Each structure stands twice: as structure tokens, then as C-alpha cells.
Copies of this chain bind each other. A is one copy, B any other.
Amino acid sequence: MARSLGELAAEFGCELIGEPSATVSRVATLADAGDGHLSFCADSAYLELLRNTRATAVILRSTDVEQCPVAALITDNPYLVYARIAVALHPEPAPVVGVHETAAVSASATISSSAEISRNAVICDDALIGDDVVVGPGAVVGPRCKLGKGTRILANATLVQDVTVGERCLIHPGAIVGSDGFGNVQGENGWEKLPQIGGVRIGDDVEIGANTTIDRGALADTVIGKGVRIDNLVQIAHNVQIGDHTAIAAQVGIAGSTVVGKRCKFAGQAGIVGHINICDDVIVAGKTVISKHVTEPGFYAGSIPGEPHKDWKRKVARFRRLGDLTDRVTALEQRDKSTKTASSDDE
């Protein structure tokens, strides 16, 4: 979608240095951009690329405008303005309104006339599909699920049952929301199933990654706050609550009944145990295990980066012998003390 620089400057609150009638139709990196492309420079590390760019225009800070060989859209926050203009230039395709003839829809489901139900999608009993919703090819919307205005459920994703999704959410392919929690009780002859009867409630503007799994609550609901961002292959167990605007990177696991605050950020492969509370504004490093309540905002870590195997092997051996080393230090201290005592005796 081509837009003129003049329009973009006005709409996104930038100062324009350049020809207002010039148009851009897509975004690109400083290095790759060519004619009709818009790029951005948010970091002085890229000034060399900026000086050589062949973009039609670049979004940047006023301090970098001298280095820019082409038209400039000046703003204090180039990255954010870039994201917004990228949305304008690359809008999601409009829903192909209607129920595709290959989709299978229960007679008891309610579907807005502005929604798209794609090829081979399935809408089960008593589901409620709001305005402008898209249900992608092969996606399944289970019994009693409710999808708010503008939400999109992409290909082969599944809302199992009793999942309420807010407005403008984006659920990526293969994600499973509302599956049973892992509830097992020891019986005389092995595990017995603890029925999982809660649902999942998802706020507005939430994004859930590909093949991520979010379990329904055992009794009460699992809750995902508004504006939460969840990456691919994440596990959210039953009765977890995630605060607004928290971001969770790929392959993180959060065990049952844990309550996560607002604006937290969990890096990839972190593991959060069950039944704990994590306060607002907690950042967790990649692969870190959080095993206790966290009551102070801040940055938490717990992984040790890898290194060449022969060095690592030696470190692990020393770690294993830390008990010996401690004993040796204690022995030295005792000899030192007895020496001193002896020496004091001498005096």
C-alpha cells in the first residue's frame, strides 16, 4: 500500500525533510532498501549503513539527520514510529467475509456476518464469533468459546473449549488454548484424573505464538492479561495468571497456579515453578529457573553460558570437588589457628 511521505509525516507526527509527494510502499532494512522503500535508523551503530542507504526515506532522530542521504522522517522514537508505519504499509489482509463452504459450523454457534471462517475450519457448539474475526484454515473453535472483535485464530490452531478471547488478539498456527491441565491424583492402582473444568480468559490485544499450549483451569480459569505477548512453544499450565503487558519468549514453561505480574519479560527456555507469585516488572534471563516467590522487581538470572568442552569439563570437576576444597581450607584455617595459638603461647 503506497503512501506519500507528507501523509505519513502528518499521520505519525514526524518532521519531514524531503519531498512530501514522494511515496513508499514497503519497509526494508537500511542495507536492503531501494526505490519506494522506507527504512529506519534507531541506533548510532547503523550510521554507516544510513550514509549508504538507497531507501526513498528513513525514519530517524534529529541528531542523525545530517548523515542521511535521502528523505528523512524525524521523530524521537524511530523504532516505534517505524513499527506503526510498517503496520500502515503492510496491513493484515481484510477478512474474506463469510463461512467457506468447506468449513464445518455447528448449528448452535453464532457467527458475525463480518467474520471469516476459512477453509476446513471447525466451529463447535455454542461458540460465539465476533465482528471481523478470522478463523484460519483448519483451525478449531471448540464448544462455548467466544472471540472478540477483530481477533484472528490462524491455521490449525485449536481453542479446545470454554476459552474467552478479547478483541484484536492474534493466535498463531498450531497453538492450543484450553487443553486439560495436568491433574493427576494417586489412586491405589495408579494415577486417577482430576477433572479440569475451568476455562481460559484472554484479554484484549494478546498475541499467542505458534504451537504454544495454554491449559484450562482446574476449577477457576487460567487468565492471560491484556496486551500480553507469548512466543512459540511456550507452556502455560492450569490456573496460571499472567499480568497485563508481560512478554514471554519461546519455550518458556510456567507451572500450575503461578501468578505473574504486569510488564514482566521472560527470556527463552526459562522455567517458572508452580504455586508462586512473581511481582510486576520482573525480567528473567534465558533458561533460568525461578523456584520461589519474587517480590522485588528487577533482573533475575540463573544459567551459566557454555564454553569449549575441555574447559567446561574441568570446571564441572572442580564444582564437584568443592566439598574437598572447602575441607582443605578449613584444615588450613585450623592449622593456622593452632600455629597462631602455639605462637601466642610462645610469646
Contacts and interface: CB of A to CB of B under 8 A. Distances in A.
Interface of A: 26-29, 32, 79-80, 82-84, 86-87, 90, 100, 102, 104, 118-120, 122, 124, 136-138, 140, 142, 154-156, 158, 160, 170, 172-174, 176, 179-180, 182-187, 189-195, 197, 205, 207, 209-211, 213, 215, 219-220, 226-227, 229, 231-233, 235, 237, 244-245, 247, 249-251, 253, 255, 268-269, 271, 273, 284-292, 296, 298-309, 312-316, 318-323, 325-326, 328-329, 332-333, 335-336, 339-340
Contacts of A300: 306-309, 312
Contact of A229 (B100, B191, B289): B191
A209 B90 CA distance: 31
Given A84-B192, A306-B285, A306-B289, A179 B209 contact: yes
A318 to B, nearest CB: 4
A83 B218 CA distance: 11
Contact of A318 (B210, B244, B322): B322
Contacts of A333: 328, 332
A337 B316 CA distance: 28
Nearest to A321: B326
Given A138-B158, A156-B138, A213-B210, A32 B220 contact: yes
A159 to B, nearest CB: 9
Contacts of A213: 174, 209-211, 232-233, 250
A306 B322 contact: no
A251 B235 contact: yes
25 contacts: A26-B197, A27-B195, A28-B219, A80-B186, A82-B194, A136-B140, A140-B155, A140-B173, A142-B155, A191-B205, A210-B215, A233-B233, A268-B273, A269-B269, A271-B286, A285-B309, A289-B305, A291-B306, A299-B308, A300-B309, A315-B322, A318-B322, A318-B326, A319-B319, A329-B329
